[in-house]
Amino acid sequence: MSHPHPELGPPPALPEGGLRIVALGGLGEIGRNMAVFEYEGRLLIVDCGVLFPEPDQPGVDLILPDFEYIRDRLDDVEALVLTHAHEDHIGAVPYLLRERRDIPLIGSKLTLALIEAKLSEHRIQPAKLEVIEGERHRFGPFECEFFAVNHSIPDALAVAIRTPAGIVLHTGDFRMDQLPSDGRLTDLGGFARLGSEGVDLLMSDSTNAEVPGFVTSEREIGPVIDEVIRTSEQRVIVASFASHVHRIQQVMDAAARHGRKVALVGRSMVRNMGVARDLGYLKVPQGLLVDSRAIESWPPEDVVLVCTGSQGEPMAALSRMANRDHPIRVAEGDTVLLASSLVPGNETAVNKVINGLTRWGARVVHKGNAKVHVSGHAAAGELLYVLNLTRPSNFMPVHGEWRHLRAHARLAELTGVPEDHIVIAEDGVVVDLVDGRARIVGAVHAGYVYVDGSSVGEITDTSLKDRRILGDEGFISVVVVVDSATGKLTAGPEIHARGSGIDPAQFEEFIPQIQKALEVKAADGVVDMQEIRRVVRRTVGRWVSDTYRRRPMIIPVVLEV
């Protein structure tokens, strides 16, 4: 089993007739999916998504793939294929198109409509080509064939990439729901045909590789949602992903059956459902929708609110309702339905929102106490099915954390893929498909690029470390004035602290220690301002650590006279 090594160096030149694959995101993590394929100097990109920040990344709004690997080769990009319209697959597209606006976007009708709506906010009009399952299109040396796959958003696609180096099947995100609410099945017949033709490399969704069996059908969720709305005595507030058209359809159908109006809350929810409705993917009964701004005037037993915030996002509508920072006020007797899965890492934030809503008297229905969500990702039984249908010569698990990738690799071994033909890579690891074999040949830089407000890439890991220190330990600033010629202290020190938990009166007792340390340095002839700052920082840091066992950020300010 081939796997990454921390000492991997830059890759060699791609051999003639070989296909190179570099994932810039999506391996070892849930999100930021982006894979770059190279053949004869031309590039094809599959997906370009974002990763959402964790609690130890304060102030960060989004995390993008690092485009440095392709930045000097953007003119070589033939197309960007988008498998579906979830944020972890399309969220970084606006940032890539800022660097080259005319990269053709390839995707299904709904996928392109949702990304176009997003790009309009960035004032970008994309070049695009709409495709449907069963079609084949050539982009430079890459011939792409598209297959229908079932997922938690309509119009998802898998793509087979043909070059003289072989056939690569990239499943995108998929599951094998046999009774999907929209009737669109994963094209297992197409996968089997491709397997008969010969799949040289299978790249398959690993998110649920640890989950045994098969995923529950979407249709089993409808009756549960219907029961929640039927038995609720006051308002029902449903939180879901803003792209989960199937789930919103189930909510609307249940609301209509029980004589309730529906209001959409949140910009992304309103935008996405508007697009889905215009294209016919969302069927809205006449008169069902009402404006959220007028919802307070309706009797609470007659309304259903559909909003964002199922992952505990601090600025989303549901979190703001829990914090009493939203025009819609959760009241005693309301029911809140979290109709989505829990993305790993969001547990604390979601529990905080549940507690906040419960505090105001709401009944909270979630995956932990009711069957209100099914995963959009294939479980182990379905992954085995695809492996057996396609019979790949080589296998590379994608889209998942390390435990998911390794679990998927074990499934591939069980189906007969030789151990040395299974490639477990991570972001930036270079995989070459040459003469029918996939091997790791090197690595390129594929770090995080942080979006913070309007800044992109300006925040570094060092910046985040500073923010964590400030958040956890506070800061102490020390102002001293020294003679630039002699280095002697002429005024100060003056000490200010915020969030450090230290009594300011204690600093008065400590000031003589700073003065003494500076006197020693001046006697040694030290006049370098940088060295004087280091003396102040070390002296204060040692005292705080010894006295309080704390490590606040220490900011020395040295003024010269």
Residue with tokens 């700073």: 514
- Give the pair of three-digit tokens for residue 345: 């890492």
- Give the pair of three-digit tokens for residue 350: 């979601």
Q: In this structure, are residues 146 and 107 in contact, taking their beta carbons and an 8 Å threshold?
A: no
DSSP-derived secondary structure letter, 287: T
Check whether 408 is labelled as a binding-site residue.
no
Nearest-angstrom CA–CA distance, 429 and 443: 4
> Given strand 475-482, what is the order of strands in its sheet?
489-498, 475-482, 553-560
Cβ partners under 8 Å of residue 23, min gap 6: 34, 35, 36, 398, 425, 426, 427, 428, 429, 446
Check whether 84 is labelled as a binding-site residue.
yes
Check whether 217 is labelled as a binding-site residue.
no
Check whether 304 is labelled as a binding-site residue.
no
Check whether 46 is labelled as a binding-site residue.
no
Check whether 496 is labelled as a binding-site residue.
no
- Furthest C-alpha separation in the chain: 87
Check whether 5 is labelled as a binding-site residue.
no
| Helix orientation angle between 504-523 and 529-548, rounded to the nearest 10 degrees | 140
Chain length of the chain: 561
Check whether 374 is labelled as a binding-site residue.
yes
Check whether 375 is labelled as a binding-site residue.
yes
Residue of 377, 404, 408, 421 with catalytic role: 377
- Give the pair of three-digit tokens for residue 552: 């606040």
Check whether 86 is labelled as a binding-site residue.
yes
Check whether 326 is labelled as a binding-site residue.
no
| Helix orientation angle between 380-390 and 402-414, rounded to the nearest 10 degrees | 50
Closest CA to 253 of 279, 278, 218: 218
Alpha helices in 304-364 (DSSP H): 317-322, 347-359
Residue of 47, 187, 200, 205 with catalytic role: 205
Q: Which long-range contacts (CB under 8 A, 24 or more apart) does 49-52 make?
A: 49/25, 49/86, 49/87, 49/88, 49/89, 49/90, 49/91, 49/92, 50/87, 50/88, 50/91, 50/92, 51/25, 51/88, 51/448, 52/87, 52/311, 52/313, 52/343
Check whether 376 is labelled as a binding-site residue.
yes
CA 247, 253, 257, 258 torsion-angle sign: positive
Alpha helices in 74-216 (DSSP H): 87-90, 93-97, 109-121, 188-197
Neighbours of 458 (CB within 10 A): 12
Q: Is 253 a catalytic residue?
A: no
- For the chain, how are helix, strand and coil distributed in percent, rounded to 5? 35, 25, 40
Check whether 373 is labelled as a binding-site residue.
yes
Check whether 102 is labelled as a binding-site residue.
no
Closest CA to 261 of 285, 232, 225: 285
Check whether 137 is labelled as a binding-site residue.
no
CA-based end-to-end distance of the chain: 66
Check whether 240 is labelled as a binding-site residue.
no
Mapping DSSP to helix (H, G, I), strand (E, B) and coil, where does residue 338 land? strand
Check whether 243 is labelled as a binding-site residue.
yes
Q: Is 5 a catalytic residue?
A: no
| Residues forming the active site | 205, 377
**What residues form the annotated binding site?**
59, 61, 84, 86, 88-89, 151, 173, 242-244, 373-377, 399, 452
**What residues form the annotated binding site for substrate?**
242-244, 373-377
**What residues form the annotated binding site for Ca(2+)?**
59, 61, 452
**What residues form the annotated binding site for Zn(2+)?**
84, 86, 88-89, 151, 173, 399
